[in-house]
Amino acid sequence: MVNIEDVARLAAVGRSTVSNVMNRPHIVAPATRKRVLDAMENLGFVPNESARVLAGGPGRFVGVVVHDASNPFFGEIIRTVEDAALNLRYIVSTTNTGADPVRESTAVELLIQQRASGVLITPSALPADALGRLRRIGTKVVVLDAPGESGICSVAMDDTAGGRLAGQHFLDYGYRSFAFVGTPARTTQHAARLAGFRAALEESPLGRRLDVQVIEVPHEDIVSGRQAAERLQHRDSPVAVLCGNDLIAMGLSFALQERGTVVPQDVAICGYDDIDMVRYLSVPLTTVRQPVHDMARTALELLVEEMRVHEHEHQAVLFAPELVVRASTARQ
Spatial distance between the Cα atoms of 89 and 61, rounded to a whole number of angstroms: 9
Residue 294: per-residue pLDDT: 96
Cα–Cα dist 309/299, whole Å: 15
- Nearest in space to 15 (alpha carbons), one of 5, 6, 24, 23: 5
- pLDDT score at 65: 92
pTM of the model: 0.80
pLDDT the model gives residue 215: 97
β-bridge partners, 288: 272, 323
CA–CA dist 279, 213 (Å, integer): 26
Taken as a whole, the chain contains a residue count of: 332
Contacts of 160 (CB under 8 A, 6+ apart): 192, 193, 195, 196, 199
Query: Three-class SS of residue 216?
Result: strand
Give me the sheet containing 267-273, strands edge to edge: 212-216, 177-182, 239-243, 267-273, 286-289, 322-324
Given this model, what pLDDT does residue 20 score?
Answer: 82
Q: Cβ-count burial of 272 within 10 angstroms (0-12 exposed, 13-18 middle, 19+ buried)?
A: buried
Q: Domains in the chain, ordered, with CATH?
A: 4-47 (1.10.260.40), 159-289 (3.40.50.2300)
DSSP state of 205: T
**What is the reported pLDDT for 125?**
61
Mean pLDDT in order along the chain per 10 residues (332 residues): 85 88 79 89 71 50 90 95 89 86 82 82 67 70 85 93 97 94 93 97 82 94 96 82 98 96 95 97 97 96 86 91 96 66
